[in-house]
Chains A and B, each alone.
Chain A
């Protein structure tokens, strides 16, 4: 109980926690954590030509000579150790580049609030790192400037071809390109190697497990006296639901995000499957703050599906963790995830060009970004054999990168779908059961639809 001033503090302190804590359902969680010494297992990289990969245009980006002596200020949500690698890359570029460009990485706690306020007060930096779901919102908040064709040319001859469609597409909003992908971060399968060998279960390889392999492993673990899974509510439950619904051929919305579709048959099957996995193979875990992760860390469960921001934590806190792509648990393959993107906040052309030069360099060298616990979005970086050395854990999950489900770029869509829509239904399913899943999903979908429609109305007006 405090005065109003500290009420505001509470508000934002909690905001920063929401973003900092292991992905509350309301915001789009993204992975984080720098990778420390690469002790985790991973598949050895394949040999190949470093730097480029077949299919990508071989032209490197060209920073125009006219761009000289600019200072680029870059905000980001990557506070603490999560952003150290980015700071290092920025420092390296600043020292190396021949155009006299200096890049200053300034992580911001609560970066959305800071950006929105900055837009109102006309105090924006040169550029920012943004979570892909925030791009539309930031455009609506007048915080972003589009990339012109000239700028895109600096980044690459055919910038779109450098990245898989799932992370490139959402960077376009209202017909303009507003962001360039940096990484994608899929849900990760963490598994306890000790418990696996105890139950004589073979570790997963570079390719995600098929349904059959997954089921076999679950049963073998159980037979070996091990609790196979740790499934909880809140973020994890919601992320698993989103993974499963796509694996059953469904989707949360239609392609442009105007129609809610998670109350389809695929949605019901996803709910059933989630419940079945929890009932058959997991202890009864619920609550905020990721207690299911603690269950796994404590050695009580063999497999944990969670955000990739746990990678560093797992490497620190457990000796036994292996990393793999989330298995196929349904009919097709898909996996929930997010993405970081570069976006411009300044309208000054010289500054914009300098930013584009930095983006180009960073993107070319984004195999290094794996050290930060992220999967580089650039195809060449993901296929770079160096990735296995820099970040074996990332290399192990890199294959699932292009399959990451990113929502259509509609401001506020994630909140409308998840926290105000299916999230509470998933929680209720796991905590006390839902007698009529179809009806519950219908009701939630109706609410999500209403919110999406009203949001669109407020924007279109």
Chain B
């Protein structure tokens, strides 16, 4: 792939001469932009707006402008939000550390495994994707039961093999292991399917040329596969990061944030603040803070993985 810029491409276009206003790109992005503006853009800025208020949707007369107070509360030790917010932030970071590597590296591995032509390919691909079609409730209840310390499938199996299984859902770090296993089982199919699609785009010729040059399997993977996967890897890592940060259903069902609020993720806090306490402005501030952190991480992700073109 050569490093030609889009400028060169456009320059060759009979209509799109350089410097002349071309309406075509805007037509391409317009349909999406209309919906985006109405249903994401507007609420996004509205959310920023509400974060400056003690906002009340049902009774607007109770809405009070408080400036940055919602944000200050997050850093004020004496506020009611402070302790719980930071505890759940740390919990979420812990979960991201647990789940991101297996979800990305494991997916690459599985995609490679599933690529190519072999007997039973369709069956295996379907099986690996099937868990992803389940709702979060179904998947979480299933693994809640598997990890039950007294009578659940896993500990029964372990005791049959002579081990005493731990109390999976009431001790740390076992609880994170349980939640991670559930999450990986449930969602790795998503990543795998995307990476598989990307793998299938890679031209055979590249591998053949490398093989003729004597490159081993590992070298082919490292120097051809991975670089060609780069753009899609950026996507997968970004999406996985965001999804892990949005963790909610699995701990809700499996541990209720327990054992001692140690698996309570940040979305619990935002949900408690916004829905249960109906403090919409405060929840908006929390959301924006979390979003900003994620944005920084995403930008870093782009920088590391996205920039270089494959040679």
Contact = CB atoms under 8 A, between A and B. Distances in A.
B258 A3 contact: no
B150 A291 contact: yes
A243 to B, nearest CB: 20
A292 to B, nearest CB: 10
A3 B243 contact: yes
Interface residues of A, number: 56
A289 B149 CA distance: 12
Interface in A88-142: 113, 116, 119-120, 137, 140-142
Contacts of A1: 99, 103, 183, 187, 190-191, 239-240, 243-244
A119 B57 CA distance: 10
A17 B244 CA distance: 20
Contacts of B59: 140, 142
Contacts of B144: 288-289
Given A289-B253, A291-B148, A455 B259 contact: no
A455 B80 CA distance: 11
B279 A458 contact: yes
A10 B136 contact: yes
B144 to A, nearest CB: 6
B156 interface: no
A424 B263 CA distance: 13
B149 A291 contact: yes
Contacts of B140: 14, 17
A9 B132 CA distance: 14
Contact of B277 (A9, A287, A295, A415): A415
Interface string B250-267: 001111101111000001
B165 interface: no
Interface in B58-117: 58-59, 62, 64, 80, 84, 99, 103
Contacts of A289: 144, 148, 253-254, 256
Contacts of A420: 80, 84, 272
Given A4-B246, A7-B246, A24 B256 contact: yes
A415 to B, nearest CB: 5
A4 B170 contact: no
Contacts of B191: 1
B167 interface: yes
A420 B279 CA distance: 15
Interface in A258-307: 285-289, 291, 294-295, 298
Interface in A20-70: 21, 24-26
A431 B259 contact: yes
Contacts of A412: 276-278
A458 B62 contact: yes
B256 A25 contact: yes
Contacts of A9: 135-136
A316 interface: no
Contacts of A285: 150
Contacts of A428: 260
The listed residue with most B CB atoms (<10 A of its CB), out of A15, A116, A286, A428, is A286
Interface in A164-222: none
B275 interface: yes
Given A1-B183, A142-B59, A287-B170, 15 more contacts: A1-B244, A3-B239, A4-B242, A11-B249, A13-B135, A13-B249, A14-B136, A14-B253, A24-B256, A113-B275, A119-B58, A140-B278, A234-B258, A287-B149, A451-B80
Interface of B: 54, 56-59, 62, 64, 80, 84, 99, 103, 135-137, 140-141, 144, 148-151, 167, 169-170, 183, 187, 190-191, 239-240, 242-244, 246, 248-249, 252-256, 258-261, 267, 271-272, 275-279
Interface of A: 1-4, 6-7, 9-11, 13-18, 21, 24-26, 113, 116, 119-120, 137, 140-142, 233-234, 285-289, 291, 294-295, 298, 411-412, 415, 419-420, 424, 427-428, 431-432, 447, 450-451, 454-455, 458-459, 461
Sorted from nearest, which 5 A-B pairs have the closest CB atoms? Answer: A1-B243, A288-B256, A14-B252, A10-B249, A14-B249
